[in-house]
């Protein structure tokens, strides 16, 4: 009866933890869950999914086609408010802005993240595909490794790892064995541990869920995101996703991380790029 315990879209931990409650026109309350933290930080992809969900309610279109987030201050688990603003509504695309805010120890509202996004309806897009990109070369899921496999190949397990099915390609795991490849690549099978299938909102989580590519470049410090933009290109098919992340340019204390997300039907369903700071330890 394993099937019966599977969570579905709309009825999973991810859905409960990203649920926003409309307080007034364009204003939403949420209690940020501690379940999506890594070390002490709330995962940036989880936060983006929260903002994305508020905008899906505020805008006449439901799917984020392109969403750009600038991370201002570190979010904490607990109460937060999302304030949205409809910038423009069109027939096929609408654009909105959103801010995530929390109160500091003095009760002052502090902005955590600001976002601009253009939304549409993925189901109305034509079927044409002329993608020249190929899915990432990644071994079968049984030959990949997660935090639960053996003597902690992935160190620093924390809350979020309990919620993700994350199986890393062994060829991008050199860092965990003290031998980073120097290549700046990270690849993994990705899903939600409760079995919920992927949708456009969970793709916002998928692009920022792997260990930093900086680890494979021999850097073990903290890599906070400055800006993250995600393009959702297709509604993902059921089944596990493959996520491939690459850094081409680590320089001047910053790096970019480009992610591609492929679904079980071999379609490139999302692309993202982030600019992150390198905090040497």
Among 6, 8, 11, 131, binds its own copies (CB under 8 A): 131
Among 74, 133, 137, 265, binds its own copies (CB under 8 A): 133
For every residue of 209-269, DSSP letters joined together read -SPPGGGGGT--SB--EEEEEEEE-SPPPSS-EEEEEE---EETTEEEEEEEEE-TTS-EE
Q: Is 267 in the site for its own copies (CB under 8 A)?
A: yes
Q: At a CB cut-off of 8 Å and minimum separation 6, what does 73 contact?
A: 110, 111, 112
Among 33, 43, 66, 202, binds its own copies (CB under 8 A): 66
Helix (H), strand (E) at residue 58: helix 44-58
Q: Is 249 in the site for its own copies (CB under 8 A)?
A: yes
Half-sphere exposure of 267 (CA within 13 A, CB side): 14
Tokens matching residue 34? 């501690």
Among 19, 34, 72, 86, binds its own copies (CB under 8 A): 72
Return the residue matching tokens 């933290």. 37
Among 22, 76, 183, 193, binds its own copies (CB under 8 A): 183
Q: Which residues pair with 11 in a beta bridge?
A: 8
Closest contact distance (angstroms) between CB of 98 and its own copies is: 11
Among 25, 105, 127, 142, binds its own copies (CB under 8 A): 127
Which residues sit at the interface with its own copies, rule CB under 8 A? 65-66, 68, 70, 72-73, 87-88, 93, 95, 97, 111, 114-118, 122, 125-133, 182-184, 217, 226-227, 229, 231, 233-234, 247-254, 256, 258, 260, 267-268, 271, 273, 275
């Amino acid at each position: 009866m394993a099937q019966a315990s599977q969570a579905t879209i709309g009825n999973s931990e991810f859905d409960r933890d990203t649920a926003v409650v409309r307080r007034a026109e364009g204003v939403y309350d949420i209690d940020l869950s501690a379940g999506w933290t890594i070390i002490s930080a709330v995962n940036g992809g989880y936060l983006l999914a929260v903002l994305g969900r508020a905008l899906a309610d505020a805008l006449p279109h439901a799917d984020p086609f392109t969403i750009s987030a600038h991370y201002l201050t570190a979010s904490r688990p607990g109460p937060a408010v999302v304030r949205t603003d409809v910038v423009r509504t069109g027939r096929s695309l609408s654009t909105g802005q959103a801010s995530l805010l929390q109160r500091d120890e003095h009760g002052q509202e502090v902005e955590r993240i600001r976002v601009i996004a253009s939304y549409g309806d993925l189901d109305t897009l034509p079927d044409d595909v002329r993608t020249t990109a190929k899915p990432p070369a990644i071994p079968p899921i049984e030959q990949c490794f997660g935090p639960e496999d053996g003597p902690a190949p992935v160190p620093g397990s924390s809350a979020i790892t309990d919620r993700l099915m994350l199986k890393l390609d062994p060829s991008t795991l050199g860092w965990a064995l003290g031998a980073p490849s120097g290549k700046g690549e990270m690849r993994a099978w990705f899903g939600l541990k409760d079995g919920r299938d992927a949708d456009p909102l969970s793709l916002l989580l998928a692009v920022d869920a792997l260990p930093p590519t900086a680890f494979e470049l021999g850097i073990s410090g903290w890599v906070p995101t400055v800006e993250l933009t995600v393009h959702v290109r297709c509604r993902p098919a059921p089944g596990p996703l493959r996520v491939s992340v690459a850094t081409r340019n680590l320089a001047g204390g910053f790096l970019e991380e480009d992610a591609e997300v492929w679904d079980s039907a071999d379609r490139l369903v999302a692309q993202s790029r982030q600019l992150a700071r390198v905090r040497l330890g």
